[in-house]
A = this chain, B = another copy of it.
């Protein structure tokens, strides 16, 4: 059900209807993946909007931050209700979140896979943070371009590339994880914000030297490194963090909203949330690229992924 954009009210007060119209032009609902649940999650199209908060996840802390700041609309990347709910009782976190939003008159809007594929969008924000300017689609799913792939102006050592990317990401307790030799050379870069387990075939087909994504689990990551071992060593892997890799999109969204609303945005505040919704609070025992690796395997066969990499 697309929303028909209307002009703001006679009194010049921006309504939720106005903001939704802009969002659905930027992120058309029919560009979302079929399993996704995007669009307006809570609120009334006629309610006035004066202050918007932008965040990756609609957590209770984000809702509380928005309430304390007087926001009347939260726009997030992740859907609150991806799986349908059958109760809004406060005994569950989903129910408590819905109740907090309604009681405090805060609307919620979600732009997820339709924001991933938009131009500008989540994929392009991550590509830009990697230093890529011109990019192509990593893969096409349900007719939409997911992920980006492109070439750096100059080749870099893997560790140096990772360091530069890390500078563009918000600090999180878990940092970013890298698989590959610190001095391996990378130039062709594939990126996919969020969970990237499912795109390894596309990454290999792209010829990328390194794959920047998040939420990689042990088995897919290890199997990708094994396939790389029989194919010359690449692609290397960088897990940049699910929250961190997708938060890069928020500042551009803030600017875009203000620009597209034009004069109507004069009385509108748009803020990016300061809550880091990465679930991890601290890490023990992680080692950087300069550290001597945790063990030194004596042989340095071309297909070992654990020898020499830390030297």
Could you tell me which A residues sit within 8 Å of B by CB distance?
1, 37, 39-45, 57, 59-61, 64-65, 68, 78-79, 81-93, 95-99, 101-103, 107, 159, 162-163, 166, 169-182, 194-195, 214-219, 221-227, 229-230, 237, 239, 242-243, 274-289, 291, 293-295, 297-299, 301, 303-307, 309-310
Contacts and interface: CB of A to CB of B under 8 A. Distances in A.
B275 A283 contact: no
B88 A42 contact: yes
Nearest to A46: B90
A180 B277 CA distance: 13
A177 B102 CA distance: 34
B293 A40 contact: no
B305 A226 contact: no
A175 B89 contact: no
A55 B179 CA distance: 20
B98 A61 contact: no
B82 A88 contact: no
A289 B172 CA distance: 12
Given A166-B285, A222-B279, A64 B299 contact: yes
Given A98-B98, A276-B295, A310-B282, A91 B1 contact: yes
Contacts of A99: 42, 44, 102
A185 to B, nearest CB: 15
Given A93-B223, A93-B229, A288-B283, A85 B87 contact: no
Contact of A171 (B88, B101, B180, B295): B295
A282 to B, nearest CB: 4
22 contacts: A60-B230, A61-B303, A61-B306, A61-B307, A65-B297, A84-B84, A88-B101, A92-B227, A93-B223, A99-B102, A159-B282, A171-B287, A171-B294, A173-B177, A175-B284, A175-B285, A178-B283, A179-B279, A224-B279, A225-B279, A276-B295, A284-B289
